[in-house]
Each structure stands twice: as C-alpha cells, then as structure tokens.
Structure 1
C-alpha cells in the first residue's frame, strides 16, 4: 500500500492541526484503512445495504476533512470536531448525526484493535445525547385511508395491498420483505421463514401470518405461479421487487391518501409492534417476531401515547380483578 505524505487537517474551526508522527505504527491513508475495514465487515457477513451506508457515511467524513489524511494524524480532537461540524455548521439533527457517528466509531474501533492507531479514539467519539425518541406510528383510520386508495383490481395494486398487510402482520424490515421466497411460505401453518442471509441479524427466524394475510398470500401465489423465480414479491415483468420500489410505492400511496406522516416500511413496523401490544400481545413474543436480541429496542418500538395508556388501563386496571 502506498505511503502518504503528512498533510494538515481542516478542523471545524478551520484551523489546521498537526498531530505528531507516531513512529511505532505503519502509515496508511484513511481511505486505505476504511477499505480494509469494509473488507473485514464484508467477511463478517454484513448486508450489501449496510456496506453501502458505511460508504455513504465515510464520504460525509471526507467532505469534512477536505483531503486525505493518514492514521498518524488521527486524534480525538479531530473527530470530536467532526461532531461539532455536523451539528453546528451543517445543522444536522442529533439523530442524523448519530447515524454517521456510529459508523465512524466502528471504523476507529477497528483501527485501534488492529494497531493502526495507538489511542482508543472511539471511546471519546461518542454519539450525542438526544431527547427520548417518539417513533411515529399510524392510527387505524390512517391505515384504512392508505388501503382505500389502493386499486386491488390491478396486479400492482393487489401486490401493494399484500405488502401493507405483510408489513403490519409480520413486522418485517423492508429488506426482509423483498427477500421472502415462495418456498418459505407455509400457508397451512401460517408462517413465513426468513432465511439468515436476508435478515439484519444474520439469523433465520419464522414470522407468523394471520388468516387475513394468508388469504391474500394464497391468491397472490396463484397469480404469480407462472413466473419462474424463487422470490415472493415481483414486478409486473416477474423480476424480484427492490426495497427502493417498495419505499417509493408506499410514499406515493401516502401522498394519494393524504396521510401526513411518513409512509414507509419502518412506520408500518412501528405501528404493527404498537398494535400488537395494544391488542394484548406480550413483549417477549413481540421481541421474537421483530428479530431483536435486545429488549431495549422493543421498548422503543412500543412507545405509547397517553391515550394508548388510558385505553390499556381501562382494560387491565387492577381494580378489574376486584370488581369483576
């Protein structure tokens, strides 16, 4: 790998800073190191989408730096300046900044653990504190509005209706949705198996499907039987549906229905999780369906409004056990 001449780095204050050369480590450019980091993550089995996002976040970092630097110029001051740049100069929200920070932290941790830098900068380059996120979800009426503008007499409309049912019913991520395969749909048992390579956690899981969705699935499978493909959701030409197409179609449905909230696969996932709990489901089975290993993520998904809490309290008040 090519050796690089040391350069001065543009800080958030726009004042160059010179970090002393550390003679005990070999010198690499930041881009060379990031390529090695990506190769390592690819071997770990990260999805193509995640690797793509890592590249995008690295480009944002390079936009701040303005030029190539070497590992001998890495410092906690430099990377903390990047946080200030994102928040104060670019005006990014803490939530958006934290998405980029997590990628850079993972990269810096990789560099430290592999002895490309001598200081654990990732321990100082931490996500910024944010207010407790309130994840947006739909009301029942908003879902009915969305379905009302879908023309299920056409192939595209019927497929989009099925997609909405699947997102709400199975709580899958968009990448998991488009990765579903025909052979893994068990209509009789009411389950769909998600293969390990198609899930975020790289672990296979089985998601239950309600009777309503099963009926739509049965009809859709019959309609698309002539296509020789293993994937479940297809374009009109019989090609596997992409996640970008799903997002675009849902956004168009939301605009047509006049729903002001963000109509996306993730919003359906939040909504389905909340409705599951409001309907009496328990958080432990919900965790299994969502595919989360950490219950803290489940808690984020089921944030309730005061109205939701009031409804639940009316149903499950301890006094109900006294005055049956």
Structure 2
C-alpha cells in the first residue's frame, strides 16, 4: 500500500532544538574556519577594505594568544575573558586598544551564534571595558598658522597641500574620504562637498559643508588644475590621483619644519577642526553629522576638551584677578 503523503508537520522543533541541530551539523568547524566564513559574510556585506583588514588583524591577535586553533568544544567564554585580562593586565594595553579588539571579537561571536556554529551567546559575555574619555590629539590655532607658514605656494605640490590642509580642517573629513572626492562632488555655489558612500568608513554617503573662505580657495585650485582632465579633486603634478602616503609624508615634513612637537598626521587635522568647531560655539549634534559618527560618544571628547579650555581661560581671565580682597 502506498504511503500517505503528509501535508502538515506533526510537530515543530523548539528554537533551542533547531540551534542544537544546526550546531551539530557544523560541529567539525574550528574557530579559524568559523572566522573564514565570517569574513566571507562581511565581504558580501560590502564593508570597506580597511574594516575587513582590521577584522583579520584583530583575529590574528586572538590566535597569537590562544596559540593556534580551537575546536567547537573548546570555544568558551572563559577563553575570551582570559584574553581580555591578558591584554589589560599582562600586556598593559590601554582600554581603547582593548575595546577595539573586543568589538571585533563581539561581532564575530555574534555571527557564530546566529549561524548556529556555537550554542551559547558568548558575545553577550564579551563586553568592552570601562575607559576614561581621553583628550584627542589636536593642534592649537597658533600651531596651525605655523604649519601653513612653512609652505611655499610657488610650488604646485605645496600649494595643493595647503589647500588640502585647509579643506581637511574645515570639513573635518578623513583623508581617505577627501582624496576620493571627485570634482563633480564639489558644489561651490552651495558650499558643500559630497562624500560617496563607497568611499567613507560608515559606507553611508554624506554631504559636508565648506566655508566661504574654503570655497574661494577651492575655486582657485580647481581652475588651476582644470587642464589635468582628472575626475579627482586632488591630483599629482602630472594629473594622477594623489596618494595618501605621499601627503602623509609631506605633512610630517611640514610639521618638523614648523618646529611642531609630535607627529603631524591627517587625522590630527580632523581632531583639530572638530575641537575648534566646538570652541567656536558649534553644537555637538551638527558636529556628529559632519564627522559621520554613528553615535555621539566620540563627539563628547571634543566637548570635554572645549570645557577644559574654558576652565583654563577662566583661570587666566577671571574677573577676580583684578580685584583685591
């Protein structure tokens, strides 16, 4: 007698039973193999190459700690808690450094749990550590003037670098974002620059404002470079797209020539612009939008630094300084 086809399932597996079934099916996957699948998934999401590189590097640090690979039954919360303890107390890494690695680990473990590679939501136990809000590295207005003063505008490359420095300060963009800008993305009439989603860290395009002075400077620069016939805004002396490393090297040299302390790098200009924006009265919410931050936690650092600067000024210019009592 022929069997009767079932049109309805007699019972459904509970969520925990489903996860157990999936986990058993992939039970031979090691930690490295899970991470390989994780990276394939992240690449398919279209993450920026730098973000993908950071995931690979931070996972390498974890492998160095555990001394190799792990099988499924060896992947426990204790391993990752010990890793955090090792970074903080044995290596003496800053909370910021530890949290960068923990966040990458959290994303990986969450993926493993959601895919059924592991039964326990270990990502909920791998939390960031409390960290003080540190001051960011920024230049003073006097140091910015000193930096610009050593640039010889008679040379095209140095004139271009001056335009870049001023644009970075004004727009507070990341150097990679600015160097990917095309001439068509610059709206001098509207006073804005559009950053394409494929070129920014968050993968979300955004429009940043530029001041009248920067518009005027860019108009002169764009007119001078029109004959290069390049789609990109910032180019070499022979019209090719400018390389970030070339500018970083030049900026470092300008800093040394100006007698500035520490390494002068593009991100310091971003910090400087953000801090001066707040000190001039800019609100944190518009700053967050300009910077392209997903949350306001980083922006709060600039607020804290601006408040500290106000305290210093109050000490120097207190009304009581001229009153004897």
Bigger Cα Rg: 2
The gaps in structure 1 that reach 5 residues or longer are 1-21, 315-324
Query: Could you say what the CA RMSD is over the residues aligned between the two structures, in angstroms?
Result: 2.4
Offset from partner CA, 1:18-70 (integer Å, 9 cap, x none): xxxx8575221222211211121222221111111111112212222222223
Cα distance change of structure 1 residues 284 and 68 upon mapping to structure 2, 3 Å threshold = closer
Q: Comparing 103-112 with 125-134, which one deviates more in the overlay? A: 125-134
Q: TM-score, normalised by structure 2?
A: 0.82
Matches within 5 A, 1:98-113: 98-113=99-114
Higher helix share: 2
Q: In structure 1, how many angstroms separate the alpha carbons of the residues matched to 2:147 and 2:83? A: 41
Cα distance change of structure 1 residues 81 and 237 upon mapping to structure 2, 3 Å threshold = farther
Q: TM-score, normalised by structure 1?
A: 0.82
Counterpart position of 2:83: 82
8 Å CA contact 2:278–2:306 kept in 1: the answer is no
Q: CA deviation at 1:165?
A: 0.6
The gaps in structure 2 that reach 5 residues or longer are 1-22, 316-325
Q: Secondary structure at the match of 2:207?
A: strand
8 Å CA contact 2:113–2:119 kept in 1: the answer is yes
Counterpart position of 2:168: 167
Counterpart position of 2:272: 271
Please list every run of at least 4 consecutive aligned residues from structure 1 whose deviation after the TM superposition is greater than 4 angstroms: 22-25, 310-314
Q: CA deviation at 1:133?
A: 1.5
Q: In structure 2, how many angstroms separate the alpha carbons of the residues matched to 1:276 and 1:84? A: 38
Matches within 5 A, 1:17-56: 23=24, 25-56=26-57
Counterpart position of 1:193: 194
Q: CA deviation at 1:90?
A: 2.9
Counterpart position of 2:214: 213
Cα distance change of structure 1 residues 262 and 208 upon mapping to structure 2, 3 Å threshold = same
Asked whether 1:256 is paired with 2:238, we answer no
Q: In structure 2, how many angstroms separate the alpha carbons of the residues matched to 1:187 and 1:305? A: 30
Counterpart position of 2:18: none
Matches within 5 A, 1:1-324: 23=24, 25-305=26-306, 308-310=309-311
Offset from partner CA, 1:178-232 (integer Å, 9 cap, x none): 1111111112222111111112222221111112222221222223223333221
